[in-house]
Structure 1
Amino acid sequence: MANYSTGNTAAALFELSTNTSSSSSFRGLTFEERVGRTIVFNDGKIAAANHRIDVEAADSTDSREIIREFNDVILKKDITDNIDGEVMLTGYLVKLEYVLDALSTSQISSTVISLIVSFFVLLVLTRRIAPSFIVIVPVTLAALWVVGSMAVLGIHWNVLTVMVTALTIGLGIDYSIHMWKRFETLVERKFAPWESLRITNSTTGAALCLSALTTAIGFLVLWFSPMPVIRDFGLVTALTVIFSLMMALGLLPLLLVYEAQAEESDESFQE
């Protein structure tokens, strides 16, 4: 057991890695098992070691701050100079932060691609640029409102809330198409633009309000979850539904009326 008195840590741990006696009656593990869980040897020398530190993080902001503080310690010159090897930070929080960064980065590009694809699909269906653009604009603004509301309310990105822009596009496109199609049908029947808007709001708009209300309430139930991640997702999704509805019933009708009046002016001018 000379290794324990000479200060040779690697040799002492290597000797313990071959010791099959019990290290603790409470844990029921041998010295060999305990050392084997944290240290890898190569020819009696330490090739890799895992040092575990338990931390708590309530959200992604806490995780990011904890990781930053640990990295600051690891990068200190007096630590790295005394180690013949590389020090790396790993663990659940590090992996989760990496996933969130990747999701956040890809979210922007995927949202833009979704809007572009939606625009071209609408363009194929309507064969007109103006209606396609009019339907897309409220959806884009609703997505921006949701992201802005998250910042105001202090809701951080996680594996669930990162999906809100996709949900906004899905719901917003649906609501907007319903409103646009009903309005266009009435205009084609020679109703005046404002009269078409009144009828659209009283029929399709009322139905969308009831649908959005039940959907928002359903997601708000998640607010009673004991898990903060689930609560945030429920609140953000409910805001997504509300903002999509507000844009479909507020901004979209004004754009539709403006387009209809512009077309009437063009027809009158041509006559």
Structure 2
Amino acid sequence: MLKKPTYEELEQRVKELKIEAIKLKQAEDALRESEEKYRTVLESSPAPIVVYDMEGNLVYFNPAFTSAYGWTLEECVGKKMNNFVPDESWPETKMAIDKLLSGEGFSGIETTRYTKKGDIRYVRMGGSVYRNFEGIPVGTIAIQYDITEHKKAEHALRESEERLRAIFEASADPIVVYDTQGYPQYLNPAFTHVFGWTLGELEGRLIPFVPDNEKERISAGIRYLYDNYYGNGEALRVE
């Protein structure tokens, strides 16, 4: 037969339950405060941030994602964002997904993404797994930095360099491109035709084609070029 608890024992148990209730309330408040803090960080981030569950279904994305890509959270939550990834971008995307599913993070992956309108954006991505209080992975977070303008600038620079090289290659006049130390970085075919040297023969060397009696004058001209014209595109002609 069970012993009937005394009044003092009941009173002690009530006190313990009250303490447990207070601790539970404090834990709930702390959890809610933590969730609000992280949500504030996500909401205020200028970079698009996407949260998925471990099955790849969308759980959340921040306002920056909507601004960048056009989709709203309401039309995407619970769905897979496969239409967001161009076909040619799946290899690096799958590599990132595999890393996340194995519990690893990743960073610095460059790829492309579609906007809702079908435009292509170049992005640099990073991602990590988030876990519950037991340490079990429950989802993934990916952050994307738009590098479209940077890629466009790189492309424009490459095109400019290719045009300039085509002009140099076609020129009938010998052309040499030097670094700031006076070492040749490029010789056009006309230079090789007139003087006989190839770039491979002269890399890391000062070109020995200036006569001794002209070296001082040429050196002075080069110094003047660097001191007065370097960087503004004006030419210095040496006769």
Q: TM-score, structure 1 length as denominator?
A: 0.22
In terms of fraction of residues, the more strand-rich structure is 2
Specify which structure has the bigger relative contact order, considering alpha-carbon pairs within 8 angstroms and separated by 6 or more residues.
Answer: 1
Q: TM-score, structure 2 length as denominator?
A: 0.25
